[in-house]
Amino acid sequence: MNLLLYLIVLIIFIYSLIEPYLIEEKTIVVTDPDLPQEFNDTRIAFLSDIHHGLFLNRKRLHRLVRRINQLKPDLILLGGDYIHVSPKYIKPCFEELSHLKAPLGIFGVLGNHDHMEDPRLSRQAMSDAGIVGLDNKSRWIFKSNSKILISGVGDFKYDTQDIHSATGDARFSDFIILLTHNPDYAEIMKTSKINLVLAGHTHGGQVTLFGLWAPYIPSHYGQKYRTGLVQLDNTKVVISNGIGTSMLPIRFCARPQILTVVLKHAEQPS
């Protein structure tokens, strides 16, 4: 019996070292009456928590970028934590990310690990890579005579969150996507203008009980923002499992993810 138990533990441990390489492609459909018809079926590739560094090398990052481009997204959004442990990974990370392609643009915010290493260098490398930084900023995206707003706030722990700067001149009838590295910000967001929040940070729990529960999640709200789509009173929140790992190079039943968010126009209820 003890031998069987040891064998099971060994198999689980070996698999947990393999799972970080098993990136899944997951699609989430978001419907909203505020979305202009022209943006119906817009495909957003959302990527978070790359953690380029010792546990995720440049070759893997290169393959990741190529894989995202093969999905042919209309828009690419990045949720922060690009590097891990050392600022020496910032420049090579964004050199690889500079090869991302999307006709409606590529936008991102910084995460807590980016601030812990060198936020100034991260912002510069992001800009050099052709990625628009949206920490407490926004940009309108246009199709024909219609538009949606892509906005972002600073990291929840190491930066400020100015939602008024992030939403700018947008009206309540406009469709607004907000990027925040940490999903906890959705709980204190002082506006009801936001239609969709995209976040990462929690890694899907990284190590879970067969995908049902995680013993540790870096959130004040327990399992609520572990992964997937969460419906709040005034908005929807999509949380990615991310790509890389933190602390240890292991995952268990929390596979790394490339999320494709498909936007759908919904008629107003009569």
* Domain membership flag for residue 31: yes
Q: How do residues 58-70 score in pLDDT, each as one tens digit? A: 999 999 999 999 9
* Domain membership flag for residue 51: yes
Give CA–CA dist 59/100, Å, rounded.
Answer: 15
Beta strands in the chain, from DSSP E residues, in sequence order: 24-32, 43-47, 75-78, 106-108, 132-133, 137-143, 146-152, 176-179, 196-199, 228-231, 236-239, 257-265
* Domain membership flag for residue 75: yes
**Can you give the residue range of the structural domain that contains 90?**
2-265
* Domain membership flag for residue 125: yes
The pLDDT of residue 205: 98
The pLDDT of residue 268: 65
CATH label of the domain that carries residue 12? 3.60.21.10
Name the residue among 9, 80, 21 with its Cα closest to residue 49. Answer: 80
Q: How do residues 127-148 score in pLDDT, each as one tens digit? A: 999 999 999 999 999 999 999 9
The pLDDT of residue 1: 64
Q: How do residues 12-59 score in pLDDT, each as one tens digit? A: 999 999 999 999 999 999 999 999 999 999 999 999 999 999 999 999
The pLDDT of residue 26: 98
Provide the number of structural domains found in the chain: 1
- Exposure pattern of 115-131 as b/e (b: 16+ CB <10 Å)? bbbbbeebbebbeebeb
Residue 111: which pLDDT band, with cuts at 50, 70 and 90? very high
Nearest 10 degrees: Cα torsion 210, 215, 220, 226: -10
The pLDDT of residue 226: 98
The pLDDT of residue 269: 57
- pTM given for the model: 0.96
Q: How do residues 156-201 score in pLDDT, each as one tens digit? A: 999 999 999 999 889 999 999 999 999 999 999 989 999 999 999 9
Task: Classify burial at 234, counting beta carbons within 10 Å of its beta carbon; exposed 0-12, middle 13-18, buried 19 or more.
Answer: exposed
Residue 3: which pLDDT band, with cuts at 50, 70 and 90? confident
* Domain membership flag for residue 270: no
The pLDDT of residue 175: 98
Say yes or no to pLDDT of 95 above 80: yes
Distance, CA of 216 to chain centre? 19
**Strand arrangement, sheet containing 236-239:** 137-143, 146-152, 176-179, 196-199, 236-239, 228-231
Residues 6 or more apart whose CB falls under 8 angstroms from that of 111 comprise: 48, 49, 79, 80, 81, 82, 155, 181, 182, 200, 201
The pLDDT of residue 179: 98
Task: Classify burial at 58, counting beta carbons within 10 Å of its beta carbon; exposed 0-12, middle 13-18, buried 19 or more.
Answer: middle
* Domain membership flag for residue 200: yes
Say yes or no to pLDDT of 270 above 60: no
- Residue type at 226 in one-letter notation: R
Contact 143, 40 (CB under 8 A): no
Distance, CA of 225 to chain centre? 12
Residue with tokens 């929807």: 236
Q: Tell me the three state secondary structure of residue 72.
A: coil
**Per DSSP, what are the bridge partners of residue 257?**
24
Residue with tokens 């393959």: 63
* Domain membership flag for residue 237: yes
Name the residue among 69, 136, 64 with its Cα closest to residue 93. Answer: 64
The pLDDT of residue 2: 86
Contact 91, 124 (CB under 8 A): no
**Mean pLDDT over each residue of the chain, to the nearest integer:** 96
